Structures are given as structure tokens and as C-alpha cells.
Amino acid sequence: MHRFLRSLHGRLTALYLALLLVAVGTCLGLASWQVGRYVREVEQRVNRPVARALAHELDVSLRHGLGTPAAREAIRRVQALHPALDIYLLDAEGRIVREFEQQGLPARDQVDVGPIRVFLADSTRLPLFGDDPAELGAREVFSAATVTYEGGQRGYLYAILRGMPHASAAKRVGESYVLRMLAVASLIAIVLSAVGGTVLFGVLTRRFRTLMGAVERFRTGDFAARAPEGHDDEIGRLGRAFNEMAERTRAHLDALHEADDARRALAENVAHDFRGALASTRDAAELLLADDGSLSPSTQREAARSILGDVGRLTALTDQLVLLSDLDARRLTPSAEPFSAAELAQDVALRFRGEADRLGVALKPMFDRPLPPVHADIALVERVLANLIENALKHTPPGGIVRVAGQAEGDRVRLSISDTGHGIAPDDLPLVTRRFYRTVQSRSRGASGSGLGLAIARELVELHGGALEISSALGAGTTVAFTLPTRAPAPSIAGGPARPIAS
């Protein structure tokens, strides 16, 4: 029961029953008051002519004086016939001239004649209540009639009706019957309303309980929990809002997990690259330090080249990390200027010619026709081309070819780097531009690299309002392309994965 009363269903039911009891109690009170007024109205209407009949019976006595033997005899006769009436003789101002009960002095010596005049003038405004001379502050239904007494004075015969036996009996019977009937009807209404209200509130709150169950499951870690939809009411809209919030929360959690995976990958890759480069540098440095003059000049030069190569790889990795930090903090803003994309691509390719020859790969710039100048940040575009060419050379076996080409496409220039390397599996294709992501083939072949080249290239291209497009097939090579505007574009920082093209 305690748990039920703590639930929304229980609280609504308890509140409904409380309001029902207040309403029934109010209705019973109003009904009792109205029944009392009705009974008093009937009492006054039935006994309306009583005062007039008494005035007629006492007319002669009143005119000749209340102290005469005939008057006293008439008064005794009236009291014998109507022993329960409180009868008073009032002057025109309402002052009590005579009290016929002979039971002591009245509590007041004057009554308000306003209700008496209304009673005599209007028979529809009943019940009317007048001052009760026997008790200060009390008001009772009455009967009244105009009279002339002692020397032609005008006044009122005023009869309080509270003591009429038949009226009091009718009042008690009427009130008890009606109130008993109302009490029974109210009890039945309360029971039926309580049962019906409990069932109705249970039905109405069922969907809310279902929604609360989904929220509770989501709170305890079941992030797949969703609320049922389908109704366009407050609970339905609340359920849709919860589902949208749950989807966003799930997406944020997935993003946090991905970021956590990326941080772990960063630590692993950076540690691996630094450890390998530092170990190689240490070995070369120890070799040179241990030289007692027996090393040949060529061996010394090879050790020095090894140290320089390791320092170069560490420097490049550090530069990539700094560039990623600038991209994350949005501190990198392209400084666009017009330049020839074909000339820049040929210059970058020439820089990698020695590396290509060392690997036994043919690096071929292929610009057969002039291209319009592009409007972009030349240093960032140079970085993109360098990353893409370097990545293509790493994944192309000896005897393969890496081509750098370009063509005009409307108001943009398209640059592409194609290789005849191992290619990328379809499952890896949407993921290769993620930071620190390395394909299964790269990991199995033990290829070097931090997994940042394509990610940096994608984000730099997107800074220029473009997108990195990758098409590949296993064993058939890979083509990576991007476009640059020939007019100044609006800077964009929108990110997202590379758009793969079906191979």
C-alpha cells in the first residue's frame, strides 16, 4: 500500500478520492441546508394565516384593552388552542407591547419590522426570518398580521412558529428522510467512483509507467531502452523526446568511446614510433661513441644518416600531432591566395622522387593540359599532397606506379593521386581517414606509419570546403582525389568521414 501511494497512480487516486469526499461533503452540507430551508418554507407557508386568525379572534379584546376580563379570557383561550406558539403584540415600530406566554420578560424589547412588512406585502419570498424576542441574535420563521389595539393604535400580531407540533414533526421526518437518502446515495457514489477512478487512473497511467520503465532501464545502463511512440499527446511527445535524447546520448557515448579508442591508439602509436626511432638513434649513437677508429667512414656516415632519419620521422610525427591539435582547437585558418596547383603538385612530387627511386616505384606527375589557378592556402595544400604521395609510396610494392594528375571541373580543380598498390578492403574503406586507423593489410605487413596522414589530409581539404574521395579495390590499387576552388570559398570547419566511391 505504501508503494502504491508513492506511485503516480496511487497519488492521483488518493487525490481524486479526497476531492470526491470534499465534493460529496459539500453537497451533503448544501443539501441539508437547502432541505432545512425548504422545510422552514413549508412550515411558514402552511402557517401563514395563523397570525391573521389569531388577530381576528382577539380583535374585540385588543380594541377594548388587554387588561379587561374579556381580553384576559380571550388570551387564555388562544393560549389553550395554540400552546406552542410564541405570540407578541408589537406597535408600528416593532416595540413589544405585550408577550402572551407569561413566562417572563423577553430578551429584547423590539424586533425589526422590515421582514414583517415584506411578509405582509409579498407571499413569494419565503421563508422569511424575523427576530426572536426570546433570544438575542436568534431568527426564526414567523407569521404576522396587522392589528388595531387600545384606542385605535396600529400594530402587529407577531407569532414565532418554531413550536408548531405538526410542523416540527414534518421537519424532523423530512430532514431525516432526505438526509438519509442523500447519505446512502453519496456512499454508493463514493464507492462506485473510487473503484472506477482507480481503474481509470490505472489505464491512464499505464503508458506513463511504461515510459518510466524505459527511463529506469536506460538509467541503469540499458542504453538500447526506448519508449513506445504512436500517440500525439503529452505522454507520446514526452516519449519521443526521451527517445531523441537517448539517441543523442548513445551517439555521444559512442563518440566518447571512439575518442577513448583514439586516445589509446595515439598513445600506442606514438609510443611505438618514438620507441622504435629512439632505439635506432640510441644504437647508432652508441656505435659512434664506441668507435675507437676502427669504423670505416661509410659506416659512420650510415650511422649518422640513421640518426638523421629517425630525427626526421620524430619531427614529422611531432608536426602531425601539433597540426592535429591546431585542427581540434580550430586555430588553423586557411590563408587563401591564387597559385598553380599543377606546379605545386609537380614540386611536391619532385621532392619525393628520391624516396620513390629508393623504393623502386615510378612517381609520375601527369598534367597534359594547363589548369586554371586555384584559390587556397598553398602551405596546407602542399601538406595534403605530401601526405597523399607519401602514403601512396608506402603502399605500392617495387615496380609499381604512383601517378599525380589534375583536371578542371567547372569552378574547381580536381587533383588525384593513384597507385598500383595493394588496395583497401571494402570494410576498411570508410574508416581509413579516421585518426590512427590502420588497415588489416598494413598491420599484417608491418608497414610503418602513424595512421594520421589521410586523417590530416581529409581535415585540411574540408577546411577549403572540399571532400576527400577514395576509391580502391584489393590488388588493383587506390585513388585519392580532392578538389580546390578557383575562387575564394567560404571557410568551413565541418568534419566527417571521407566519402568513399565504389571501386
Give the C-alpha separation, 279 to 256, whole Å: 34
pLDDT tens digits, 387-427 = 899 989 988 999 999 999 999 988 899 999 999 988 888 87
pLDDT tens digits, 452-500 = 778 888 888 888 888 888 888 888 889 999 999 987 655 544 444 444 4
Q: In what order do the strands lie in the sheet with 362-366?
A: 362-366, 401-409, 412-419, 477-485, 469-473, 499-500
Give the C-alpha separation, 361 to 402, whole Å: 7
Give the C-alpha separation, 15 to 12, whole Å: 5
Contact 483, 410 (CB under 8 A): no
The DSSP symbol for 95 reads B
Confidence at residue 443, expressed as pLDDT on a 0 to 100 scale: 47
Q: Which residues of 116-128 are buried (b: 16+ CB within 10 A; e: fewer)?
A: beebeeeeeebbb
Confidence at residue 58, expressed as pLDDT on a 0 to 100 scale: 75
pLDDT tens digits, 150-202 = 777 888 888 887 654 444 544 555 556 666 777 777 788 778 877 777 777 67
Confidence at residue 79, expressed as pLDDT on a 0 to 100 scale: 65
pTM assigned to the model: 0.47
Give the C-alpha separation, 405 to 96, whole Å: 127
Give the C-alpha separation, 139 to 160, whole Å: 9
Angle, nearest 10°, between helix axes 165-219 and 8-46? 170
DSSP 3-state of 238: helix
Give the C-alpha separation, 116 to 144, whole Å: 7
Give the C-alpha separation, 282 to 294, whole Å: 19
Task: Return all residues near 405 (Cβ < 8 A) that are at least 6 apart.
Answer: 365, 366, 367, 415, 416, 418
Confidence at residue 339, expressed as pLDDT on a 0 to 100 scale: 92
Strand partners, 481: 416, 469
pLDDT mean values, one per 10 residues, the chain (503 residues): 60 74 77 73 78 76 67 69 75 84 68 90 80 84 86 84 53 59 78 76 73 82 79 75 85 79 71 78 82 79 83 77 71 82 92 91 87 90 91 90 91 91 81 66 51 80 86 87 79 47 44
Give the C-alpha separation, 343 to 363, whole Å: 15
Contact 21, 41 (CB under 8 A): no
Contact 395, 412 (CB under 8 A): no
Residue type, 7: S
- Taking alpha carbons only, the member of 355, 324, 344 closest to residue 453 is 324
Q: Which three cell numbers mark 208?
A: 506513463
Q: Which three cell numbers mark 84?
A: 406552542
> What DSSP element (H or E) covers 298?
helix 297-328
Confidence at residue 125, expressed as pLDDT on a 0 to 100 scale: 74
Place of cell 630525427: 311
Confidence at residue 301, expressed as pLDDT on a 0 to 100 scale: 82
Confidence at residue 300, expressed as pLDDT on a 0 to 100 scale: 80
- CB atoms near residue 159 (< 10 Å): 26
